[in-house]
Structures are given as structure tokens and as C-alpha cells.
Amino acid sequence: MSVDPTELKQRIEAGIPGARAEVIGDGQHFQAVVRAPAFAGLSRIAQHRLVYDVFGSEVGDRIHALSIKTTAREQPDD
């Protein structure tokens, strides 16, 4: 019952407007770094909730563990 980190990345980016995500993981435990303008002005709790909400009850079940780091800052890539 392995989950592809790419699936998590795509779902985060689809679920949170303007989000850019990097997700690594071993199929059950994942670390996500998510950058999104939608996080601006939100507490860390609220930012992480937006990410958890993308997956609902899959977190703790199919997705055994999801470690999250969020930032609202737009980071210039070039």
C-alpha cells in the first residue's frame, strides 16, 4: 500500500491555490515543503490544516505520517 510522493505533490498543488510543493517520502512517511500565497496572514496551525485538509482521513491511515513545513513567501526561482 505504497503511496507515491508525486501524487501528494500534485494533490497539494491542485488543492491549494497557487501552491508549490516538494514532497519526499518512503511510501508511508512523507515530508512536504509547501509554499503558497494562500498561507499569507494565517497561523501555522491554519496553514498546516490547509495541507492536511487536502488529504482528509487519509492522513494517519493510507498516508501514515505527513510532516509539513509551510511558507507564505513567494520565492523567486530565478
Partner 1 sequence: MTDESTSPIREAIQSAISENPVILFMKGTPDAPACGFSARTVAALESLDQPFAAVDILPDPRIRQELSAISGWPTIPQLFVDGELVGGCDIVMEMYESGELQQVLGLETPAGSIVGADAPADEPFQGAPLSIENRL
* Contacts with partner 1, residue ranges (CB under 8 A): 44-45, 48-49, 52, 57, 59-60, 65-69
Sheet architecture: strand order including 29-35: 20-25, 29-35, 65-71
Nearest residue (CB) to partner 1, 45 versus 78: 45
Report the distance separating Cα 55 and Cα 37, nearest Å: 20
Nearest residue (CB) to partner 1, 11 versus 52: 52
Least Cβ distance, residue 5 to partner 1 (angstroms): 17
Nearest residue (CB) to partner 1, 49 versus 73: 49
Using an 8 Å Cβ cutoff, are 11 and 54 in contact? yes
